Amino acid sequence: MSELVDGGIFGPGQPCFGCSPEHPAGFRLRFAREGDDVVTHFTPSERYQGPPSIMHGGLVATLADEIGAWALILLLEKFGFTAEMQCKLRRPIRVGAEVVGRGRIAKPGARVVGVEVELLQDGARAFEGDLRFVLLDRRGAERLLGGPLPPAWERFAR
């Protein structure tokens, strides 16, 4: 397994809910590359529950989306914006128990990349999803962001 990385690679003060090490309410995820997979470990706390003791479904999708984005970053050295997500919530994700998330490139492409994501808890598959990300060049990313591309992001533009 490679060293753990997080949103700090994009410079200080990054606002990402999923990976910023400084986000006050965020997941603060860290990722490693394991062969053709990107892996993260996350234990949801009660602050992320919907029904009592169960992680909110929208936040489960947020976790999967972040894993998919980091598959692009660590496996392709590209940054993409989520275009489509199809998912199956196989079983509830319980708060207080570790989740292992894995993402891998399922369909490489020059502009659109397909990523498979799975979440496991207690050894059982709780979530599986197919996501599509659009890779943008610098100008496209700046249009989407509504301003200049941060310098630390430039190397990840298509």
Query: Rounded CA gap, 114 and 68, in Å?
Result: 9
Work out the percent of the chain whose per-residue pLDDT is above 70: 99
Report the SS3 class of residue 26: coil
Beta bridge partners of 42: 99
So what's the pLDDT on residue 12?
84
The CATH-assigned architecture of domain 31-156 is: Roll (3.10)
Strand order in the sheet with 37-42: 32-34, 37-42, 99-107, 112-121, 124-135, 80-89
So what's the pLDDT on residue 1?
61
Rounded to 5 degrees, φ, ψ at 94 are -85, 140
- Classify burial at 158, counting beta carbons within 10 Å of its beta carbon; exposed 0-12, middle 13-18, buried 19 or more: middle
Q: Which amino acid is at 136?
A: L
Give per-residue pLDDT as tens, 44-100.
999 999 999 999 999 999 999 999 999 999 999 999 999 999 999 999 999 999 999
| Band of residue 19 on the pLDDT scale cut at 50, 70, 90 | very high
CA end-to-end span of the chain, whole Å?
26
Average pLDDT of every residue of the chain? 95
So what's the pLDDT on residue 22?
92
So what's the pLDDT on residue 11?
84
| Band of residue 150 on the pLDDT scale cut at 50, 70, 90 | confident
What 117-124 contacts at long range (C-beta under 8 Å, 24+ apart), as own/partner pairs, is 117/64, 117/67, 117/68, 117/71, 117/87, 119/60, 119/63, 119/64, 119/67, 119/93, 121/91, 121/93, 121/94, 121/97, 122/97, 124/90, 124/91
